[in-house]
A and B are shown apart, each in its own frame.
Chain A
Amino acid sequence: MTAAVLFENVSRHFGAVKAVDAVDLAVTEGEFFAMLGPSGSGKTTCLRLMAGFEQPTGGHIEIFGETAEGVPPYRRSVNTVFQDYALFPHLSILDNVAYGLMVKGVGREERRKAAEDALSMVKLPGYGQRRPGQLSGGQRQRVALARALVNKPKVLLLDEPLGALDLKLREQMQEELKTLQKSLGITFVFVTHDQGEALSMADRIAVFNDGKIQQLGTPEDIYKRPQTRFVADFVGSSNVLSSATCAQLGITAGAASLRPEAVTIGAAGADRMSLSGTVIARSFLGAVNRVSVDCAGEKIIVANPASLAVPEIGATVTLSFERGDVHAMEAA
């Protein structure tokens, strides 16, 4: 099967700055693909390369098997939901949604109907006559989505679409986007810096840093088996064990990751590994308690269910965890 979007050794350099550097990736048709990374990691530039707003300085891009370098955005069957929505302020909501159809020469009546259907799909029926300025952020986001989807794109690109929404709305939109993607069967490529969002929504995630992909895999892979220190740090703040600690545990590795919730406070069982240390900080986070323990200079964070007792600061405790929860990775 041809990939929806294929990057072969793609680079985008701005002078000396390597915004995207030798990236290989293949987005499968119909999947929800997330590009995750901090700002300046190259994820947005990758999205812009897919949309055609940027041209690669090296490498090869294909969209559904067709070469995309040198093809302007208006000749790509790819649509974008912009970070700040980019709705046309001088047009009504209906005209905004119908814009793509209008420039393609679809008749007035037909495009009006298609735009109204698209507005119903994003749960904004009857909003057509308003102006973008009269809508809330969440509503504008839905309009931007309808405006992209009305063109029936082969690939939908979303540039941090939920970034400007408040928590409650964001969670609701996450679910809706996921449902919409499954029902339409369109390939979604989603850019975000929020690892929770990427983990909960995506079928596969590419973690970016410094213009390169650090790791590409399913959310479970990325979360449980980070391959680099950066991924371990960025995706849910894993503990990174130094080689000295690894040696103490009988593991030969430059570094290893250990999830905070895989660690329990208390004596080790027969087949569990253990470390001892001093409690240096603790905080209550609702569902869990977060405890920082200093184990011979190595700070280990433990996330335990709130129902368990929490030791006092300064107490000496024993930490235990399964051998299988310690994942060796590159030292860098």
Chain B
Amino acid sequence: MRSDRSVSAPLGLKIAAAAGLAFLHIPILLIFLYAFTTEEKATSSRRPASPCNGLPSPGIGRMSGRH
């Protein structure tokens, strides 16, 4: 008979928490959708830049350890 099952969260908190979680999932959702596009469509769109573009290239091998 204690507080465990009482009081639901204030609306503001619910919205803030939901919005925060949505922010965490938007890109993942996008990648998920992107995986369903056909190959031609995917390749005909502009290719994103390589992480090394613009850096004075010190040898690609050193980058590969990252994540």
Q: Please, which residue of chain B has its CB at the minimum distance from the CB of A15?
A: B5
* Residues of A bordering B, CB below 8 Å: 14-15, 19, 39-42, 44-45, 48, 53-54
Partner of B3, one of A15, A40, A53: A53
Complex CA–CA separation, A19 to B6 (angstroms): 11
Partner of A40, one of B1, B5, B6, B7: B1
User: What are 13 pairs between A and B in contact, CB < 8 Å?
Assistant: A14-B5, A14-B6, A15-B5, A19-B1, A41-B1, A42-B1, A44-B1, A44-B2, A48-B3, A53-B3, A53-B6, A53-B7, A54-B6
Complex CA–CA separation, A15 to B5 (angstroms): 10
Q: Please, which residue of chain A has its CB at the minimum distance from the CB of B4?
A: A14
* Residues of B bordering A, CB below 8 Å: 1-3, 5-7
B3, B6, B7: most-surrounded residue (chain A CB, <10 A): B6
Contacts of A45 in B (CB 8 A): 1
Complex CA–CA separation, A19 to B5 (angstroms): 11
Q: Please, which residue of chain A has its CB at the minimum distance from the CB of B2?
A: A44
Given A48-B3, A53-B3, A54-B6, 14 other A-B contacts at CB below 8 A? A14-B5, A14-B6, A15-B5, A19-B1, A39-B1, A40-B1, A41-B1, A42-B1, A44-B1, A44-B2, A45-B1, A53-B6, A53-B7, A54-B3
4 closest A-B pairs by CB:
A19-B1, A45-B1, A14-B5, A40-B1
Contacts of B1 in A (CB 8 A): 19, 39-42, 44-45
Contacts of A54 in B (CB 8 A): 3, 6
Chain A binding site: helix, strand, loop or mixed by DSSP? loop
Complex CA–CA separation, A40 to B6 (angstroms): 15
Complex CA–CA separation, A44 to B6 (angstroms): 13
Minimum CB–CB distance from A51 to chain B (whole Å) comes to 11
Complex CA–CA separation, A44 to B2 (angstroms): 8
Complex CA–CA separation, A130 to B5 (angstroms): 35
Q: Please, which residue of chain A has its CB at the minimum distance from the CB of B5?
A: A14
Complex CA–CA separation, A229 to B28 (angstroms): 64
Complex CA–CA separation, A160 to B31 (angstroms): 56
Contacts of B5 in A (CB 8 A): 14-15
Contacts of A44 in B (CB 8 A): 1-2
Contacts of B2 in A (CB 8 A): 44
Complex CA–CA separation, A54 to B2 (angstroms): 10
Q: Please, which residue of chain B has its CB at the minimum distance from the CB of A19?
A: B1
Q: Please, which residue of chain B has its CB at the minimum distance from the CB of A40?
A: B1
Minimum CB–CB distance from B18 to chain A (whole Å) comes to 24
Minimum CB–CB distance from A82 to chain B (whole Å) comes to 11
Complex CA–CA separation, A39 to B7 (angstroms): 21
Complex CA–CA separation, A44 to B3 (angstroms): 10
Q: Please, which residue of chain B has its CB at the minimum distance from the CB of A83?
A: B2
Minimum CB–CB distance from B6 to chain A (whole Å) comes to 6
Contacts of A53 in B (CB 8 A): 3, 6-7
Complex CA–CA separation, A236 to B1 (angstroms): 24
